[in-house]
Amino acid sequence: MKISEEGIFIDLDIFASSFFMLTRWEEILDEKRDLHGRCKAANSIAEQWGFLHRPVVDEYADLLLKCLIHLGYNGPRKKNEFTFLHTHDVDEIEKWKGTGTLAKTIGADVLKRKSLQLAKKNLKQQKAVKKGTQKDPYDTFDELMDISETKGITSHFFFLHQGSSQYDNGYSWDDPVVRKTIQHIKNRGHQIGLHPSYNTLEKKSLFQKEKNKLEQLTAQPVTTGRQHYLRFNTPETWQLWEDHGMDWDSSLYYSEKAGFRCGTCRAYPVFNVSTGKALQLKELPLTIMDSTFFNQIEEGHSEIVLKEIIELLNRVKQHQGQFVLLWHTNYLNLNIFARHKQVYLELLRNL
């Protein structure tokens, strides 16, 4: 950037660069997908050029404003403030539903994880749940809502339809436990959204069926959510959500690496580059997903993980953006996730 008496020269097309990032233009051409058909961070321009951890579109906006002010602009400015969005994908709802689960868990504890102590803990927990003296470890809804309420915010729970894929869940929306949970969330004033099943990426008709079913259960419109497994095609998935009257999606995030996939930490209305039309749908880019850091935490690198997360949090605060956190309901109180919960609680203390 050069500043002179004649004006300011920026050797960068801010608008084209922002358009490229926000529309996810590069993903239309990306054919090197992972097992689940998802775009990978490693193939992105942001990762290859080392700016995935920077909300570059927000940086462009700040730069442009500073230039205008330098040139004498004194007009109105949009006011932003830091916000925290607490979201939870409900992939499972009962851990100890049958005896088969106990056998598989104990077997994995002994044979895979080589931990007799963990096997004993799980056996004790399963017995307590069956006796009714302890909640099922997947029943974390009250705990998560309590956390949100202490911060004066709302939790968003995205429910997953049973689906037809091996990657979908093991619960049915007709299960009395599920119905009771949904009603309890409503009664406490928190939000329920849609977690479209794995195959909705290819079978778009499933989206409408699942949305209709969830709206029947909730007796209210369902207009928010996130794609299961973060399976997403640009711009088709955005258009699918738009066509079904959804208000916002929060799927845009690389499953294997945290960062600003869209180049921004702010909600924005999306644009369909195939049709050349702006949509009413908004994208709320996901900032952090718990499972991204599972291996690091299990290997004892919690401090490194926290440092990375806090750095991203501080960048969002710096730009007065929105920090969107995904913490799965079934990943909070499992015995094998004790370290993960410590990271989660420490993150919340830094908000």
Q: DSSP labels for 87-122?
A: EEEES-S-SSSSHHHHHHHHHIIIIIS--HHHHHHH
**343 vs 106, residue with greater confidence:** 343
Per DSSP, the three-state class of 294 is: helix
What CATH code is assigned to 1-95+136-351?
3.20.20.370
Q: Which residues pair with 257 in a beta bridge?
A: 254
Mean of pLDDT values over 174-194 = 96
Does pLDDT of 296 surpass 80?
A: yes
Identify residue 226 by its one-letter amino acid code. Answer: R
Mean pLDDT value of segment 188-212 = 96
Per-residue confidence at 179, pLDDT binned at 50, 70, 90?
A: very high
218: enclosing H helix or E strand? helix 205-218
- Of the candidate ranges 72-76, 147-151, 298-302, the one whose mean pLDDT is the lowest: 72-76
3-state SS of 325-347 is EECCHHHCCCHHHHHHHHHHHHH
Give the residue among 138, 193, 200, 194 at the shortest CA–CA distance from 163: 200
Mean pLDDT, all residues of the chain: 94
pLDDT of residue 199: 96
Q: What is the DSSP string of 180-204?
A: HHHHHHHHTT-EEEEE--GGGGT-T
Q: What local confidence, expressed as pLDDT, does residue 282 receive?
A: 98
Arithmetic mean of pLDDT, 54-63 = 96
**In this predicted structure, which of 75-84, 87-96, 191-200, 303-312 has the lowest mean pLDDT?**
75-84
Where do the domains of the chain lie?
A: 1-95+136-351, 96-135
Q: Which residues pair with 192 in a beta bridge?
A: 157
Give the predicted TM-score (pTM) of the model: 0.94
